Structure 1
Amino acid sequence: MTTIADRLANAHLRIAQAAQISSRDSEEIKLLAVSKTKPISQILAAYHAGQRLFGENYVQEGELKIIELRPSCPDIEWHFIGPLQSNKTKIIAEHFDWMHTLSREKIAKRLNDQRPEALMPLKVCIQVNISAEQSKSGIPPQELMSLARVINALPRIELRGLMAIPTATDDIAIQRREFAQMKVLFDQLRNVYPSVDTLSMGMSNDLEIAIDAGTTMVRIGTAIFGSRN
C-alpha cells in the first residue's frame, strides 16, 4: 500500500523528470500540496515527509486547519486557491500567507485593509481566465495590467504572479496553447513588477505540460492525497 510519503516522493520525481526533459532546473518549480477536504492527519503525514506548502479551497475549512496546525507546524506556508467572496476576505487576510485567486479590485482593497500590521504583506497572484469560460473565475487577459497597478499600490498585499486553471481537456494542443499564453502574460508582468516570480499553473493530470511551458508552482492534490472526499 502506497503512503502519502510515497506519493509525495513520486510527485517530486515527476517534477524532476519533466524539468529535465524541458531543460529546466527542478529547484525553480515548487510543489503546492492541495489539501482541501483532507483531514489534519493526512496534512501531517505530508508535513512529516517534508512538505511545507499547502493549498486550501474553502475559507472556513482552511481557517480551522491553520488554527489547529500553526502552533506545532509554524513553518507551513498556507495558500488559498479557491473562489473568495468579499464577506470572507478577513479570514484570508488574517490567516493565510498567499492568495492565488485575486481577480477583483474590491477584493484586493479589502485584503489590504484587513491584513494585520504584525504580519508580512499577503502574497497574491492574479487569476486569469485564460480559457475564457463563463463558468470560471478570473479576469480576461486584457484587464491584467490594470488590476496589477491597483494591487501594486496597496502596501499590505504583495503582487507575486499569476494563476490559471486552463480548459479541462485531454487535447494536449489546447493545454499547450493556454499554458503558453499564460507564460507570455507572466513575462509581461514580470518585466514591469520586480516582485513577480510565481506562475501558478499545472495540476496532477497536466503538470508535465505546465512545466514545459514555464510554470513555477504546480498544484497537486489527487496524486498526493487520493481522490477528493
Structure 2
Amino acid sequence: MGLDDIRRRISAAEQAAGRAAGSVTLIAVSKVQPAARVEAVLAAGHTDFGENYVQEAQGKWPGWRASHPGVKVHMIGPVQSNKAKPAVQLFDAIHTLDRMTLARKLAQQIDEQGRTPDLFVQVNTGDEPQKAGILTDELPGFLTSCHELGLSPQGLMCIPPEGQDPLPHFRLLRQLAQDHGLPNLSMGMSADFEAAIAEGATHVRVGSAIFGARDYGTAG
C-alpha cells in the first residue's frame, strides 16, 4: 500500500459510484508518524493531512506549512475546550465539533481571530454511551444552537462502532446531512473508505495504509 495505491482506489471508487473525479478529499492521517514519512507524502504533492492532538500538530505543522504552501491540516480527534484558541489558529477544518461547550469556545475564537475553519459536527450514529458525538435525535437542536452562535457547520462526521457493519452508519449520516442541507460527509477510514465513497463521503481519513503502522511509543 501507499499514497499512490490509495489515490487509485479512491479514483476507482468515485468512478464506480458515478461521482466526479476528484470529488473526494483524501485526508492523510499523519498523527504519531515519523517526520520522514510525512515529508515523503508532502514531497509527493499531497495537501490534506489529519491530526488527532492539538499539541502534536502545533509542534510540526507551522514549519511544514511554511515550506509547503497550500497544505491543509484537519483536526480529526477530540478538541478540549481549553484548546479552542490554538485549534482555530492552526486547523483549516475541525471534524469533531461534538458539544455546546466547544461550540461556544470555537465561536468566541473565530470572532476574535477572524479565522474560520470548516466545521463538521461529529454524530454518534451508534448511540454509544462511551463515544463522543451528538446523538442523532439531538442533532437538529444542536445545529440550531450553532447557527445562533454564528457558526456554520459544513458537514457531518462519524466513526461507526467497532466491529459493526459501517454501511448503515454511512447511510444514516448521509440522510442526516441531506435533511439539514449540509454538503460534506467526513466518513470512511483505511478499512472501509470505498464503501463510504459509495455512500457519498466527501472526506475520507486514511492513515496507516498510506504511512505504515504507527509507533505510539514515540508519541509526545
User: Structure 2 length normalisation: TM-score?
Assistant: 0.91
The CA distance in 2 between the partners of 1:188 and 1:56, in whole Å, is 29
The CA distance in 2 between the partners of 1:164 and 1:197, in whole Å, is 15
The CA distance in 2 between the partners of 1:226 and 1:29, in whole Å, is 22
2:97 is the counterpart of 1:106: no
Q: CA deviation at 1:218?
A: 0.5
**Which one of the candidate residues 4, 12, 16 is aligned to 1:17?**
12
Q: CA deviation at 1:11?
A: 0.5
**Which one of the candidate residues 199, 202, 218 is aligned to 1:216?**
202
**Which one of the candidate residues 59, 64, 80 is aligned to 1:69?**
64
Give SS of 2:132's match: coil
The CA distance in 1 between the partners of 2:117 and 2:107, in whole Å, is 8
Q: Which residue of 2 aligns with 1:226?
A: 212
Q: Which residue of 2 aligns with 1:184?
A: 175
State which drifts further: 37-46 or 201-210.
Answer: 37-46
Q: CA deviation at 1:117?
A: 5.0
Percent of aligned pairs with the same residue? 39
Q: CA deviation at 1:25?
A: 2.0
2:187 is the counterpart of 1:201: yes
Q: CA deviation at 1:176?
A: 1.4
Give SS of 1:66's match: helix
Q: Indicate if the aligned counterparts of 1:94 and 1:116 stay in contact, CA closer than 8 A.
A: no
Q: Indicate if the aligned counterparts of 2:89 and 2:115 stay in contact, CA closer than 8 A.
A: no
- Structure 1's unaligned 5+ residue stretches are 1-5, 191-195
2:77 is the counterpart of 1:91: no
The CA distance in 2 between the partners of 1:119 and 1:97, in whole Å, is 13
The CA distance in 1 between the partners of 2:55 and 2:204, in whole Å, is 23
Q: CA deviation at 1:177?
A: 1.2
Q: Indicate if the aligned counterparts of 2:14 and 2:23 stay in contact, CA closer than 8 A.
A: no
Root-mean-square deviation (Å): 1.7
- Structure 2's unaligned 5+ residue stretches are 216-220
The CA distance in 1 between the partners of 2:60 and 2:66, in whole Å, is 11
User: Structure 1 length normalisation: TM-score?
Assistant: 0.88
